[in-house]
Amino acid sequence: MNKTAVITTAMAGAAFLGASFLLRRQQEHRVARYSTVIPIITPIIDFRVAEMVLEAMEHLPSDDVTVVLHTQGGCVMSCVMIADGLRKFASSTAIVPYMAISGGTLIALSARRLEMGRNAALSAVDPIFSGVRVKYMPEDSKDSTVLTAREYTRAIEEYLGTTLAARQGPSPPANLVDKAMERFMGDHRPHEWPISMAEVGQLGIPVASAPERWASLVDEYRRRWWP
């Protein structure tokens, strides 16, 4: 497995547009791609998932997109590519009925509008390498894999900074910017520790309540496609 693939954000969830769902329902997805709603409901966002999501984005009939997220996160490259694609839409909404952990959080924050269920959670986005948070790796290590992992941390921190700047508005209080950066980079808390809708709002990121129908949609796909 290459370094990009193994440097992943941590995971905790389930749902639709997962690898097994993609493989079994690929034709349905190709028909559904002309809808402005793209479900990203999968335990892990890997290259295959990113490929299908980007394909769907490329063929949308308008400059409007809604992504429904239910995921543990996954490969850094795959999550960033989806987030980049989302940023390019004039109108974009990320809906999190239950959870969008790690790389899922990075995608959710990249939309121009964020909606969360009443019990939904985001999390920190700092990278994890072979099960270890990069922040805990030896700072004086010269090992090439550790150095590469640290490159990912610096890149994610910069990417998160630009994402939060877009979400928090043109001139948020400096202490609020710092607080949001610390929270989403996982300072002082475990990587997967939940960030509630109320806390997201307190960090200066506009967030609205997601209509119940989106949770029902996730529930239906979980019943149909997950053992």
Domain spans, the chain: 3-225
Burial 40-61 (b: 16+ CB within 10 A, else e): bbbbbbbebbbebbbebbeebe
Q: Of 185, 143, 160, whose CA–CA distance to 3 is shortest?
A: 143
* CATH architecture of the domain formed by 3-225: Alpha-Beta Complex (3.90)
User: In this predicted structure, what is the pLDDT of residue 9?
Assistant: 30
User: In this predicted structure, what is the pLDDT of residue 15?
Assistant: 30
* Rounded Cα–Cα distance for residues 37 and 94 (Å): 10
Identify the bridge partners of residue 42 per DSSP, sorted by sequence position: 71
Strand, helix or coil for residue 17: strand
User: In this predicted structure, what is the pLDDT of residue 27?
Assistant: 34
- Name residue, tokens 């948070």: 133
The HSE-up count of residue 190 (CA atoms within 13 Å, CB side) is 8
Strands (E), 28-129: 37-42, 64-71, 91-96, 113-116, 121-122, 128-129
Q: What is the pTM of this model?
A: 0.84
User: In this predicted structure, what is the pLDDT of residue 226?
Assistant: 63
User: In this predicted structure, what is the pLDDT of residue 32?
Assistant: 46
* Rounded Cα–Cα distance for residues 193 and 131 (Å): 16
The list of the chain residues with pLDDT below 50 reads 1-34
User: In this predicted structure, what is the pLDDT of residue 29?
Assistant: 42
Measured between its terminal Cα atoms, the distance across the chain in Å is: 27
User: In this predicted structure, what is the pLDDT of residue 227?
Assistant: 59
Cβ contact 117:214 at 8 Å: yes
